[in-house]
Chain A
């Protein structure tokens, strides 16, 4: 355990120094708030939109579908490499895998997940 004490000490030091700075700054510093100082700062302009912006929910759905099928695709690459040595067994296995995948695809399709409007 002893070799880890250095890490603990550096954690304590980092936390202590940072904490002390925040604490001293907030207690010793002068406070003289004016409305201008309290206003949000954005290069002198009034903020006019939520910084993150708003996205249509259909992007979200498409992104999720993309991730799903993209991850499944990862399994096809190794198969392509060892296709010959796996032979018929591998073909059946991947067939079953693709059928299961296809069911999910049809499900998404039938429920209108691919419909942009």
Chain B
């Protein structure tokens, strides 16, 4: 029994998150008053406490960055997971603040809003810290179910309902495909533990199967990859993204674009790392990593090109950002396709960079929806002079999204491209470079509209608190870009804790 309680100690952040979710739900029921802003503040405070717990956990992990045992046979405590948990906690806090600042949200009874957000975070926490496919699937589904209801949160709004329906249909299908892949993997290897699959040799594990029947294994791996590709909206599983991002309430879109996408990538990195790259993986399995890398590289090239080309034609800012998030998924895939520790670390770093700039860009969208009452790029015109602080902040985010210095987006792209070239994917890096140039056109259409046009005096007031938060995020985008050392070390140490071959010091 003492072992049991000790094990629960490692799960303290997850337990705290669960307790927070329950408290929010019950508190909302007790008050029944329609003002639920205190729940938002409770969520933010809860996130601070959990972030503190996670930081303690980060420090307590030794040189390997990994707890030697698997907690309760399922949960892996390592810096990789903790990195993404911190990431989730941070974006959830910002999203909760966005909900608080969202003027249009006040007419709804929104206690459940925070409850569902925290519920989604519980799902993310479990899915990023397990090697067990069953728990992974469970976490993924918990995240998905909460996301479906969040996407349809504006019950009377047709677009929101459409978003929820499309999301649930696509999500259900891809979960089914993925489960089928998992069941095949289990049938072939006799285990649902990723590490055992990669390293097992006699009878169990992929090595034995690759020797006798490579085709079913390849089918199973591709099916599972399809499930992840849906979660991170990689072409050809991206069709839901624009409609869902556009229809969902803006804070929810922010959550989907930042936290949910990063979690999908975290699982994808862990999956590919554990199966093909971890130390101790059998030679026969390792031999396939090049093919998987090529598959991912092709997907990356197609994803970023299609995302950027579609974004060019958008007139609606929210939809444009949705396509831009597809394109960015393509950039992150470069790091995956490299199939090296350096590439993985670059992908993790880029996701963290993406956190700052994308939270900011969606925050601007929210601010602007409140002020101008529309989502069209055309109706932005001249607002740059009216709301200078927020608009300049947006320019910073757009510079960062394009990947120009001195922002964190520039540094993120640099490490990604560097890792890509090192892994012999120069062609992919060229494609990505051309894509960045392409993205300049639509990002700067926003800037042009903000500053190079006359305003027509229809807009109302913005939300000052929200403006302040956006300004802080834009400062962070620049500061982290200039002093990227600590973040770089964090993502390196997180990636190494997966058990990948260590990075060379000379880099």
A68-104 residues with Cβ-Cβ distance < 8 A to B are 88-89, 100, 103
Enumerate chain A residues within 8 angstroms of B32, measured Cβ to Cβ.
Answer: 110
Q: How far is the CB of B218 from chain A (nearest CB, A)?
A: 14
Do residues B29 and A106 form an inter-chain contact, with CB atoms below 8 A? Answer: yes
A23 contacts partner chain B, Cβ-Cβ < 8 Å = no
A66 contacts partner chain B, Cβ-Cβ < 8 Å = no
Task: State the interface size on chain A (CB cutoff 8 A).
Answer: 8
How many angstroms between the C-alpha atoms of A105 and B25 in the bound complex?
Answer: 12
B211 contacts partner chain A, Cβ-Cβ < 8 Å = no
Enumerate chain A residues within 8 angstroms of B26, measured Cβ to Cβ.
Answer: 103, 106
Q: How far is the CB of B102 from chain A (nearest CB, A)?
A: 23
Which of chain A's residues has its CB closest to B23's CB?
A103
Q: Is the interface of B mostly helix, strand, loop or mixed?
A: helix
Enumerate chain B residues within 8 angstroms of A88, measured Cβ to Cβ.
Answer: 1
Enumerate chain B residues within 8 angstroms of A103, measured Cβ to Cβ.
Answer: 22, 25-26
Do residues B29 and A89 form an inter-chain contact, with CB atoms below 8 A? Answer: no
Q: How far is the CB of B60 from chain A (nearest CB, A)?
A: 26
Among B4, B25, B215, contact of A107 (Cβ-Cβ < 8 Å): B25
Task: State the interface size on chain B (CB cutoff 8 A).
Answer: 8
Do residues B1 and A89 form an inter-chain contact, with CB atoms below 8 A? Answer: yes
Enumerate chain A residues within 8 angstroms of B29, measured Cβ to Cβ.
Answer: 106-107, 110
How many angstroms between the C-alpha atoms of A36 and B25 in the bound complex?
Answer: 60
Among B4, B22, B25, contact of A89 (Cβ-Cβ < 8 Å): B4
Which of chain B's residues has its CB closest to A88's CB?
B1
Q: How far is the CB of A75 from chain B (nearest CB, A)?
A: 15
Q: How far is the CB of B94 from chain A (nearest CB, A)?
A: 27
Q: How far is the CB of B324 from chain A (nearest CB, A)?
A: 37
Enumerate chain B residues within 8 angstroms of A100, measured Cβ to Cβ.
Answer: 22
Q: How far is the CB of B476 from chain A (nearest CB, A)?
A: 37
Q: How far is the CB of A100 from chain B (nearest CB, A)?
A: 7
Enumerate chain B residues within 8 angstroms of A1, measured Cβ to Cβ.
Answer: 215
B12-43 residues with Cβ-Cβ distance < 8 A to A are 22, 25-26, 29, 32
Interface string of B212-248 (1 = CB under 8 A from A): 0001000000000000000000000000000000000
Which of chain A's residues has its CB closest to B30's CB?
A110
Which of chain B's residues has its CB closest to A104's CB?
B25
Q: How far is the CB of B369 from chain A (nearest CB, A)?
A: 29
Please indicate which of the listed interface residues A1, A89, A103 has the most CB atoms of chain B within 10 Å of its own CB.
A103
Enumerate chain B residues within 8 angstroms of A107, measured Cβ to Cβ.
Answer: 25, 29
How many angstroms between the C-alpha atoms of A1 and B22 in the bound complex?
Answer: 53
How many angstroms between the C-alpha atoms of A100 and B32 in the bound complex?
Answer: 20
How many angstroms between the C-alpha atoms of A27 and B215 in the bound complex?
Answer: 41
How many angstroms between the C-alpha atoms of A103 and B19 in the bound complex?
Answer: 11
How many angstroms between the C-alpha atoms of A103 and B1 in the bound complex?
Answer: 27
Enumerate chain A residues within 8 angstroms of B1, measured Cβ to Cβ.
Answer: 88-89
B180-221 residues with Cβ-Cβ distance < 8 A to A are 215
Which of chain A's residues has its CB closest to B216's CB?
A1
Which of chain A's residues has its CB closest to B1's CB?
A89
Q: How far is the CB of B454 from chain A (nearest CB, A)?
A: 49
How many angstroms between the C-alpha atoms of A52 and B90 in the bound complex?
Answer: 49
How many angstroms between the C-alpha atoms of A88 and B29 in the bound complex?
Answer: 31
How many angstroms between the C-alpha atoms of A102 and B102 in the bound complex?
Answer: 32
Please indicate which of the listed interface residues A1, A100, A106, A107 has the most CB atoms of chain B within 10 Å of its own CB.
A107
Which of chain B's residues has its CB closest to A1's CB?
B215
Q: How far is the CB of A106 from chain B (nearest CB, A)?
A: 6
Q: How far is the CB of A15 from chain B (nearest CB, A)?
A: 22
Q: How far is the CB of B281 from chain A (nearest CB, A)?
A: 27
How many angstroms between the C-alpha atoms of A107 and B32 in the bound complex?
Answer: 11
Which of chain B's residues has its CB closest to A109's CB?
B29
Which of chain B's residues has its CB closest to A110's CB?
B29
Which of chain B's residues has its CB closest to A87's CB?
B1
How many angstroms between the C-alpha atoms of A103 and B32 in the bound complex?
Answer: 15
How many angstroms between the C-alpha atoms of A45 and B32 in the bound complex?
Answer: 54
How many angstroms between the C-alpha atoms of A40 and B32 in the bound complex?
Answer: 53
How many angstroms between the C-alpha atoms of A45 and B192 in the bound complex?
Answer: 58
How many angstroms between the C-alpha atoms of A103 and B25 in the bound complex?
Answer: 8
Enumerate chain B residues within 8 angstroms of A106, measured Cβ to Cβ.
Answer: 26, 29
Q: How far is the CB of B375 from chain A (nearest CB, A)?
A: 31
How many angstroms between the C-alpha atoms of A1 and B29 in the bound complex?
Answer: 59
Q: How far is the CB of B211 from chain A (nearest CB, A)?
A: 16
Enumerate chain A residues within 8 angstroms of B22, measured Cβ to Cβ.
Answer: 100, 103
How many angstroms between the C-alpha atoms of A59 and B116 in the bound complex?
Answer: 25
How many angstroms between the C-alpha atoms of A106 and B26 in the bound complex?
Answer: 8
Q: How far is the CB of A88 from chain B (nearest CB, A)?
A: 8
Which of chain A's residues has its CB closest to B112's CB?
A107
Q: How far is the CB of B133 from chain A (nearest CB, A)?
A: 22
Q: How far is the CB of A102 from chain B (nearest CB, A)?
A: 10
Q: How far is the CB of A105 from chain B (nearest CB, A)?
A: 11
A34-78 residues with Cβ-Cβ distance < 8 A to B are none
Contact sample, A vs B, 14 pairs, CB 8 Å cutoff:
A1-B215, A88-B1, A89-B1, A89-B4, A100-B22, A103-B22, A103-B25, A103-B26, A106-B26, A106-B29, A107-B25, A107-B29, A110-B29, A110-B32
Since A88-B1, A89-B4 are in contact, a sample of 12 more A-B pairs with Cβ atoms closer than 8 Å, ordered by chain A residue number, is A1-B215, A89-B1, A100-B22, A103-B22, A103-B25, A103-B26, A106-B26, A106-B29, A107-B25, A107-B29, A110-B29, A110-B32
Which 9 interchain pairs have the tightest Cβ spacing? A110-B29, A89-B1, A103-B22, A103-B25, A107-B25, A103-B26, A107-B29, A106-B29, A89-B4
